[in-house]
């Protein structure tokens, strides 16, 4: 038989997280700090709306771009939160999670050989999706001393004649880093100068703990060259509903809608009805969850300080990214031993790019009670390692 597989796909490395998932699955009593989704249930009024839509028999396809009602609510939301205007008819596409939006944007925009700048550490899908879309991923290694923000110099250095797209993943998974207005203004100049496009993954936009999240599209001149990706998973604790959206210039959204139409048809109808309710009446739920995350974030920063573990203060998402270089082992070694000896799972920073070496991603999508138990074990482990050295 012939080889049934495409080389392009076979060559993609499996995610570094997989290994830990497999080990942890074999350890039923392990505590995990490795989860990348909220611990809250979807607020009841949102779930109720989904159930109600099923009761009423709303079980058919929606239009390819998604429910008109939902697209309008998204535009209202973006006006209210970021102060930007989008046309619900032509500039919005409802997708199956933010992930589909990223994939569709890359596929709609890339010609073979064109380069995509991917700041790392960052979410695991940007590189493989770029490759699958025929593009060439170019990694920008972000630095702890810059609090893992992207600087104009770093961006400038990575640009070649073939550079077309910059992926902007802030607030960031796994570092928790954010980009503030002044940071965005600096990189916007470079983006404009080199005529780049931006795919801005803002899935954690509601989870910032300093000031309100600033989107790159708020910077003058940027909206016309940006695909803004967002969704319901993190803000409304709706990961399993698989619902996100992409907003951008009509010409790009039109082509993305074409891909979406042929590959997906439309995003899940039940989820779309629930999402309308989320945008209409969910602000208080978001605020309440944000406050809970913030309490945990402060607790962790305090705990790290007490155990002398180096960590920059992250102001976004629900991750902290402590540095473990002092112990002279790799992230993978640290995480493996921590799991074996203390039965606590964390994700090595290298799962999010080579420059995550020397760091761990610790998720605080867990109750304070659970975090306390795990952090006590971390403190024990750290003390043990220091005695060994």
| Contact positions vs another protein (CB under 8 A) | 15, 17, 20-21, 24-25, 30, 32, 34-37, 39, 123-125, 173, 291, 294-296, 298-299, 302, 345, 347, 351-352, 368
Q: Smallest Cα–Cα separation from 226: which of 82, 128, 124, 351?
A: 82
Sign of the dihedral through C-alpha 334, 339, 340, 342: positive
Min separation Cβ 131 and another protein, Å: 17
Q: 17 vs 152, which CB is nearer to another protein?
A: 17
From the CB of 15, what's the least distance to another protein, in Å? 6
71 versus 296: smaller Cβ distance to another protein: 296
Q: Which residue(s) pair with 140 in the sheet?
A: 119
> How far, in Å, CA of 246 to CA of 101, rounded?
6
Alpha-carbon distance of 173 to 295, in angstroms, equals 19
Rounded Cα distance, 247 and 92, in Å: 5
CB of 30 to another protein, least distance (A): 7
Closest CB to another protein among residues 106, 292: 292
Nearer to another protein, 77 or 126 (CB): 126
DSSP symbols for 145-175: GGTTPPPHHHHHHH--TTEEEEEE--SPTTT
Report, in Å, the least distance between residue 90 CB and another protein.
32
In the complex with another protein, which residue's Cβ is closer, 190 or 237?
Answer: 237
Nearest approach, Cβ of residue 121 and another protein (Å):
11
Nearest distance, CB of residue 27 and another protein, angstroms: 9
Return the number of the residue (132 or 152) whose C-beta is nearest another protein. Answer: 132
Ordered DSSP codes for 214-280: --GGGSTT-GGGEEEEEESTTTTT-GGG--EEEE--HHHHHHHHHHHHHHTSS--HHHHHHHHHHHH
DSSP 3-state assignment of 344? strand
Handedness of CA 138, 224, 217, 205 (dihedral sign): negative
- Residue 201, classed as helix, strand or coil, is strand
Question: What is the smallest separation between the CB atom of 89 and another protein, expressed in angstroms?
Answer: 34
Whose Cβ is closer to another protein: residue 193's or residue 305's?
305
């Amino acid at each position: 038989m012939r080889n049934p597989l495409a080389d392009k796909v076979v060559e993609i490395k499996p995610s570094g997280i997989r290994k830990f998932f497999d080990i942890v699955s074999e350890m039923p009593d392990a505590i995990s700090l490795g989860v990348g989704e909220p611990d809250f249930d979807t607020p009841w009024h949102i779930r109720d709306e989904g159930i109600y839509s099923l009761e009423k028999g709303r079980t058919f396809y929606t239009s390819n771009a998604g429910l008109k009602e939902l697209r309008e609510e998204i535009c209202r939301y973006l006006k209210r939160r970021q102060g930007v205007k989008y046309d619900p008819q032509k500039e919005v596409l409802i997708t199956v999670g933010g992930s589909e939006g990223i994939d569709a944007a890359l596929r709609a925009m890339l010609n073979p050989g064109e380069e995509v700048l991917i700041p790392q550490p960052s979410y695991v899908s940007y590189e493989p999706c770029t490759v699958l879309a025929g593009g060439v991923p170019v990694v920008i290694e972000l630095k702890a001393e810059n609090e893992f923000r992207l600087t104009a110099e770093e961006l400038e250095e990575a640009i070649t004649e073939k550079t077309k797209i910059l992926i902007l993943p802030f607030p960031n998974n796994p570092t928790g880093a954010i980009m503030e207005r002044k940071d965005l203004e600096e990189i916007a100049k470079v983006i404009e100068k080199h005529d780049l496009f931006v795919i801005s993954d803002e899935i954690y936009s509601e989870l910032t703990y300093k000031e309100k999240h600033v989107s790159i599209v708020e910077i003058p001149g940027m909206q016309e060259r940006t695909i803004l990706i967002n969704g319901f998973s993190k803000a409304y604790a709706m990961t399993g509903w698989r619902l996100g959206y992409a907003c951008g210039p009509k010409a790009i959204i039109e082509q993305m809608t074409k891909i979406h139409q042929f590959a997906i048809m439309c995003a899940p109808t039940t989820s779309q009805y629930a999402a309308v309710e989320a945008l209409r009446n969910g602000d208080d739920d978001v605020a309440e969850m944000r406050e809970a995350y913030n309490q945990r974030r402060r607790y962790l920063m305090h705990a790290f300080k007490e155990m002398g573990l180096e960590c920059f203060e992250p102001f976004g998402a629900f991750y902290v990214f402590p540095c473990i270089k002092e112990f002279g082992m790799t992230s993978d070694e640290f995480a493996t031993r921590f799991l074996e000896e203390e039965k606590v799972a964390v994700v090595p920073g290298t799962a999010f790019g080579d420059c995550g070496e020397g760091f761990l991603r610790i998720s605080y999508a867990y109750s304070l009670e659970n975090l306390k138990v795990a952090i006590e074990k971390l403190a024990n482990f750290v003390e043990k390692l220091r005695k060994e050295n």
